[in-house]
Amino acid sequence: MDFDVNTWRSGITVLSLLLFLALMAWTLSRHRRDAFDEAARLPFADEAPAPHAPNTQATGSNPQ
């Protein structure tokens, strides 16, 4: 069998389609629904990020 450019293109197209279908099946599976629903609610979380404490070690000052 002679592998020319068109054979490689066809193979890559079929492989891409299979990968796309596998990704869609994984995304739409019922087992992942809870994780995706939780991730979708993250932007609307009420908790504000904790303020960062000043780092006294980096400046070399001694708080005593």
Query: How does pLDDT run across 7-59, given as a tens digit for each residue?
Result: 999 999 999 999 999 999 988 888 888 888 898 899 888 766 667 766 656 55
pTM for the complete prediction? 0.53
In this prediction, residue 56 carries a pLDDT of 58
pLDDT above 70: residue 4: yes
pLDDT above 80: residue 64: no
Work out the pLDDT band at 5, boundaries 50, 70, 90. Answer: very high
The dihedral region occupied by 51, where left means phi > 0, alpha psi between -120 and 50, and beta the remainder, is beta
Q: Which residues are CB-contacts of 56 (< 8 A; sequence separation ≥ 6)?
A: 62, 63
- Burial code (b: 16+ CB inside 10 Å, e: under 16) for 40-59 equals eeeeeeeeeeeeeeeeeeee
